[in-house]
Structure 1
Amino acid sequence: MKLRTLALAVAAAAALALPGSMAEATKVKGEVTNFDFSFQGPFGSYDRNQLQRGLQVYHEACAACHGLSYVAFRTLSDPNGPELPDDQMRAFADMYEVWDPQLRDWRPAEGNDHFPESQFEGAPDLSLMTKARAGFSGPYGLGINQLLKGIGGPEYVASFLLGYTGEEDFQAGALFYENRAYGGWVSMAPVLFDGMIEYADGTPATEEQMALDVAAFLTWTAEPKMMERKNAGFVGIVILAVLGSLLYLTNKQIWAPVKRKAKES
């Protein structure tokens, strides 16, 4: 990995969930923007190109500190995901090293291996980050608005990455940074800057574009089967609607003679 990328990532001390427990993580009081993502709503789906760009952002800007320990490299080739060709997936995995207990040594990762864990104490694993942040009280609250308009985990992640005000402060001998989305001071320095990444597909790497892309990718890591669940739910609703209609018509036909006799009498 490039030295510049490592330096940027090491400077990010992972305050996406700092401080406090996961219960506190759902009580965000900061400013969260309602970004539009392709996978929102009951009929939304992942954008493969965006997931591939988000993977690149994670690899170049986040991986030196933050892990994805629940994600296997082979899933990068799964349908409705980044859908990397098998040879590209294996080449990508080969850039990481994992500990092999049988060899008692480090070796290049393979498809069945998982992404390494977080490399620094206090740096949260990002595999389930968007799930951990999905229940906060955003601008539209919870319930049906959150289903239709978003304001969940990916919105928070993108807002957090874009929420630095530029203000800094020393507290207890450590440097902290003001973040609007968090609603206070965090120890993680800004990590995204315009043009810091050269996207493979030629998309301009603006700060907002990178934040949205990595937020979408982290949503996929937390919800890799979202599309399958949506499809299953849609099929289930259709089946229930058909069964409901059949039951209604059957009920009418069964009771029709009884109702006619009742009217005649």
Structure 2
Amino acid sequence: MIRPIAILVGLGFSIVVLLSFVTGAYTWATEEVQPAAEYEFHLAPHGPEGGFAHDGPFGTWDVAQLQRGYQVYKEVCAACHSLKYVAFRDLAGLGYDEGQIKAEAASYQVPGIDPNTGEATFRPGLPTDYFPSPYPNAVAAAAANNNAIPPDLSLMTKARHHGPEYVYSLLTGYGPIPAELEQEFPEFETPTGLYFNRYFPNLNLAMAPPLTTDGQVSYAEGNPAPTIRQMSADVAAFLTWTAEPKMVERRQTGWPVLGFLIFATILAFLAKKQVWSNATPGRKDD
């Protein structure tokens, strides 16, 4: 009697876990982004035409795109936004060799201590250092940005629903207030110091458009033309990598593991059939 009860309990637990997984996966795949603003003109984020190379269960990193995205971050975004959870040595994941990483690190000034006086100072970065903040503290950051502290971008694509698409849409979503919005909501306005963006929940964003003209960042020969949309897609891909640098490796590991679990389940089922094939009919457990 004990064995059937244990089997039923285990089966019930397995069914509950499976239903929870299926329900969560379905919700994640089909859930619509709910606008946080009262205006219906807020748009759901979307990715570039053709999507990102890392999309889907079989996606891979486009290393050339990640390097372009890092260039966009370094030349444009780094003026206001930090990457405090990314170390210079992590750039090895973008295909940079040891010498290039050392040169990149040395091009930044990071906080240090003067060994002679013990006073705070700045020194060239080392591969083991993390990307420094462009501001010494939050007060200075707010003072330089109309009282809005620029967020750290290390985990931005994980902190936002459909993160890569959100970053791409936000960078390409600046523009004038649509006439239909002004007509339906005459009271709507963009205050001084804010900028209209249809992909930001309340439509008004404190960040000025960081990418304003095509060719703002000069790509090396052989790369796509640096249009605003291309640069936005590249930096969105780079920020996806900073948030989940092992995402592709995790997926690639997951498929063999899943195959092994399926194989092991089949073996366990066949072993169970073999073990119980000669059981005496009608036998009762003690």
Fold match by TM threshold 0.5? yes
Percent identity between the two aligned chains: 44
Q: Which runs of 5+ in 2 are unaligned?
A: 1-32, 37-41, 136-140, 143-148, 179-188
Q: Tell me if structure 2 keeps the 8 A contact 1:167–1:177.
A: no
Tell me the distance in 2 between the aligned counterparts of 1:94 and 1:37: 31
Shift of 1:232: 2.7
1:191 aligns with 2:218: no
Per the TM alignment, residue 101 of structure 1 is displaced from its structure 2 partner at its CA by 2.9
Contact 1:66 1:117 in 2 (8 A): yes
Residue of structure 2 in register with 1:113 after alignment: 129
- Equivalent AA in structure 1 for residue 164 of structure 2: P
Q: 1:64-103 counterparts in 2 under 5 A? A: 64-77=79-92, 81-103=93-115
1:5 alignment partner in structure 2:
none
Distance in 2 between the 1:83 and 1:27 partners?
Answer: 38
Question: More strand by proportion, 1 or 2?
Answer: 1
From 69, 72, 78, the counterpart of 1:57 = 72
* Deviations, residues 26-66 of structure 1 (Å, cap 9, x unaligned): 96553211441111222211111010000000001111111
Question: 1:102, CA displacement in angstroms?
Answer: 4.9
Unaligned 5+ residue runs, structure 1? 1-25, 137-151
Greater gyration radius: 2
Corresponding residue number in structure 2 for 1:165: 175
- Report the equivalent of 1:33: 46
Show the 5 A alignment for 1:187-226: 187-192=206-211, 193-200=213-220, 201-226=222-247
Matched to 1:38, the amino acid is: A
Could you say which residue in structure 2 is the equivalent of 1:228? 249
Cα separation, partners in 2 of 1:102 and 1:28, compared to 1, 3 Å: farther
CA-atom RMSD in angstroms? 2.1
> Counterpart in 2 of 1:22?
none
Matched, 1:127 2:154: yes
Rounded to whole Å, the distance in 1 between the matches of 2:240 and 2:261 is 29
For the residues of structure 1 that align with 2:72 and 2:123, how far apart are their CA atoms?
24
What is the CA–CA distance in structure 2 between the aligned matches of 1:28 and 1:124, rounded to whole Å?
21
What SS class does the counterpart of residue 85 from structure 2 fall into?
Answer: coil
Equivalent position SS for 1:116: coil
- Describe the superposition over 1:181-234 as per-residue Cα deviations: whole angstroms up to 9, x where unpaired: 114101111111211111124321011110010000001111111122212322
Distance 1:27-1:125 versus aligned 2 partners, 3 A rule: farther
Aligned-partner Cα distance in 2 for 1:45–1:60: 25
Q: Cα gap change, 1:233/1:28 in structure 2, threshold over 3 Å: closer, same or farther?
A: farther
1:167 Cα deviation (Å)? 4.2
- What CA deviation, in whole Å up to 9, does each residue of 1:149-182 have, x standing for no partner? xxx10000000000112349662xx321110111
- Per-residue CA shift, 1:67-88, capped at 9, x if unaligned? 10110001101xxx31112111
| Whole-angstrom distance in 1 between the partners of 2:246 and 2:91 | 13
TM-score normalised by L of structure 2: 0.69
